[in-house]
Chains A and B, each alone.
Chain A
Amino acid sequence: MKEIRSTLVWPLVALVVLLVFNAVASPGFFHVEWKDGRLFGTVVDIFNQGARVPMLLALGMTLVIATGGVDLSVGSIMAVSGAVAAMQVNAGASMGQAVAAGLGLATLLGLVNGVLIARVGLQPIIATLVMMVAGRGLAMLLTGSQMVPFANRSLTWLANGSVGGLPVPVVLVLLLAGVTGWLLRRTAAGLFIEATGDNEKASRLAGIQTGGVRLAVYGFSGFCAGLSGVLEAANISAADPARIGDTRELDAIFAVVAGGTALTGGRFSLAGSVVGALLLQTLTLTLYNQNVAPAVAPVPKAVVILAVCLLHSPRLRARFGKRTQSVAA
């Protein structure tokens, strides 16, 4: 637990550095006003845009990575759930039914990943790569490859409405993160996930149903991706099967790694992933605000990612620590 606390420090440091830079370089960055019964400002955008995709995807991805796996299919699952929800409301279903259908199918696809990995024995990267291709194909198949616009006000409210001045997605996602974190740490579930990732064989011999654990984390990752897809569709009042979620699985992996969850599995930090997602979104908006040319924008992004990863490296920190010690002596 103490180790996880210390890993949370580094993405926080990077985030603070970035925020200080913005405070100096872009006046009005922290300006938040009350407009039409809701908060309005860049910081709100960071939370809102960050919650809708990277944070939500990172939640599921954190648990998957903690078991030593990876889920490349989240972007495609977003496309499927967005398409299903949009088609459901167009067919006359209520918002609740449409969201349930989208989330249900997304969770099912996640469970299929889980079965392929835990029961059939495929490598996670391969199984979810298959789902990445298949999911996109399924979304295109369902929609006839066309965008599905809809005009259901309750569904668009999910992404554009506000609760107590806060955007609905922020409330939803922070709630989901809080409840998930609380459940995992208050029960043995979190420990089982970490044990599975640390040493699957030993865990199984110790009586942990590692297959069931893996099935559950991929199902949960599918669920999170499904919610993200529904929110993305709701945001623009249309489901875009070809492009929703495209390459966003990489954002999720970055948020998780930046948050201190190692790709080797065995430990995880949900709070770290939330901070990692915020870091990523802050970086994106900083580049927009500074009007960095889109062609070179990936470079500063890569530099920050590399810096955070280096800070996480125990070997590098040990060397750095030794030097400061010797200086002190």
Chain B
Amino acid sequence: MKRQSFLCLAGLAAAVSFSACKPSGSSGGGGGGSTGGKLVVGFSQIGADNPWRTAETESVKAEAAKRGIELKFSDAQGQQEAQISAIRSFIAQGVSAIILAPKVETGWDGILKEVKAAKIPVVLVDRGVTVTDPSLFATLIASDFVAEGRMAGEWLVKKSGGKAGIIQLEGTTGAAPANDRKKGFEAAIAGSPDMKVLASQTGDFKRSDGKNVMEALIKAHGAAITAVYAHNDDMAIGAIQALEAAGRQPGKDVTVVSIDGMGFAFEAIKEGKLNCTVECNPLLGPMAFDAVAKALKGEELPKQLVQEDRLFDETNAPAELPNRKY
């Protein structure tokens, strides 16, 4: 009886994971291994759980098509194990280079050693890895989260004339973007004694939590709140909803600043409810393939290449809105 239940469970789980795989169109550029003279590159993506990541994937695919490179694409559905087996199959298929967006920082030594043994360069995008031997990857292309926080902070200091009562909505506790965006922002306002962070609480990068936390803090701090700094656009939208429900005017009597530069944030800027968003650019494709080309030529690359991020407020956001790809 017990065994039977277990089998049934396993079957069900398999069915589930199979059906969950289907929608994101994980099969990449068709056809077999190496096509006559064409460069073949493998790209292991974490998943497609948010528009940012989808935009990153599209950017890599588009850049590969533009350069006439055949891309082997694998969507890992959020599983590190799936990424490792995808990389192993890239080696078997004889790709020339591998682009990897790692799910987590640790646990990559083994598979990256296999890749190195096959003499295939690895370019990491948007997240780093912790490995004992730094020669296991060519370079990491990512945004500088500290710089993003600093840009947001400097903009707010200028906008508010150096005087503000700020609510900070932090990202997921312990996550690198949350830590760094907090660090950069707090460094930027440190020189202005009248820029005060009234409260700094986590909204877990979620719209609903951003709203819940903001609802509570509005009651605790009331009219002292003149600005909100959210570590991502989702929490900023939640905070805007909470402010409106409390009869405040976000964008006017409360300045709202956030990071990510998603399409809906641009809409909110256009409506005058969000004041500014610092882009965290997911369009890493061009830089990634530049790095691949250099690595294949045997050039030594710096261990980290920083993607330039731009800041958008009411002066330049409306013009940019039609160009947003995510």
B23 A141 Cβ-Cβ under 8 A: yes
Name A36's closest neighbour in chain B (CB-CB).
B247
Complex CA gap A237/B268 in Å reads 14
Complex CA gap A121/B2 in Å reads 9
Residues of B79-120 contacting chain A, CB below 8 A? none
| Contact A133 B241, CB 8 Å, known A120-B5, A236-B211, A294-B201 | no
B173 A134 Cβ-Cβ under 8 A: no
Name B264's closest neighbour in chain A (CB-CB).
A149
Interface-central residue, A36, A123, A236, A285, by most chain B CB under 10 Å = A236
B173 A294 Cβ-Cβ under 8 A: yes
Name A135's closest neighbour in chain B (CB-CB).
B16
From A123, A232, A289, B216 is in contact (CB under 8 Å) with A289
Complex CA gap A285/B218 in Å reads 12
| Contact A288 B217, CB 8 Å, known A140-B49, A238-B207, A294-B173 | yes
B220 A288 Cβ-Cβ under 8 A: yes
- The prevalent SS among residues of B at the interface is helix
Is B319 among interface residues, defined by CB-CB distance under 8 A? no
CB distance from A155 to the nearest CB of B (A): 14
A130 B9 Cβ-Cβ under 8 A: yes
Which of A40-48, A173-181, A212-220, A255-263 lies on the face that meets chain B?
A40-48
A242 B20 Cβ-Cβ under 8 A: no
Is A249 among interface residues, defined by CB-CB distance under 8 A? no
| Contact A145 B220, CB 8 Å, known A240-B208, A291-B199 | no
Is A171 among interface residues, defined by CB-CB distance under 8 A? no
| Contact A160 B245, CB 8 Å, known A26-B220, A42-B219, A49-B215 | yes
A140 B16 Cβ-Cβ under 8 A: no
A137 B20 Cβ-Cβ under 8 A: yes
A294 B208 Cβ-Cβ under 8 A: no
Residues of B1-20 contacting chain A, CB below 8 A? 1, 5, 8-9, 12-13, 16-17, 19-20
Residues of A116-153 contacting chain B, CB below 8 A? 120-123, 126-127, 130, 133-134, 137, 140-141, 144-147, 149
Is A295 among interface residues, defined by CB-CB distance under 8 A? yes
Contacts of B212 in A (CB 8 A): 49
B23 A294 Cβ-Cβ under 8 A: no
Contacts of B213 in A (CB 8 A): 288
CB distance from A141 to the nearest CB of B (A): 5
CB distance from B288 to the nearest CB of A (A): 22
Residues of A211-231 contacting chain B, CB below 8 A? none
Interface residues on A, range: 35 or more
Name B267's closest neighbour in chain A (CB-CB).
A149
Name A140's closest neighbour in chain B (CB-CB).
B20
B216 A42 Cβ-Cβ under 8 A: yes
Contacts of A147 in B (CB 8 A): 50-51, 207
Interface-central residue, B23, B24, B174, B208, by most chain A CB under 10 Å = B208
Complex CA gap A149/B234 in Å reads 12
From A123, A137, A232, A240, B16 is in contact (CB under 8 Å) with A137
| Contact A289 B220, CB 8 Å, known A242-B49, A295-B174 | yes
Complex CA gap A242/B20 in Å reads 13
Complex CA gap A61/B48 in Å reads 32
Contacts of A133 in B (CB 8 A): 13, 16-17
Name A146's closest neighbour in chain B (CB-CB).
B51
A134 B216 Cβ-Cβ under 8 A: no
Name A233's closest neighbour in chain B (CB-CB).
B208
A236 B207 Cβ-Cβ under 8 A: yes
| Contact A141 B22, CB 8 Å, known A120-B5, A295-B174 | yes
Can you sample 19 A-B contacts with CB below 8 Å?
A35-B247, A36-B247, A49-B212, A121-B1, A133-B13, A133-B16, A137-B19, A141-B19, A145-B49, A232-B208, A235-B208, A236-B207, A238-B207, A242-B50, A243-B208, A289-B220, A291-B199, A293-B200, A294-B201
Q: Kindly list 18 other residue pairs between chains A and B, CB separation below 8 angstroms, not including A140-B23, A140-B49, A243-B204.
A: A31-B219, A35-B247, A49-B212, A126-B5, A130-B16, A134-B12, A137-B20, A145-B49, A145-B54, A146-B54, A147-B51, A160-B245, A236-B241, A240-B207, A243-B206, A285-B216, A289-B216, A291-B201
- B contact set with A: CB distance below 8 Å: 1, 5, 8-9, 12-13, 16-17, 19-20, 22-24, 47-51, 54, 170, 173-174, 198-202, 204-208, 211-213, 215-217, 219-220, 222, 237-238, 241, 245-247, 264
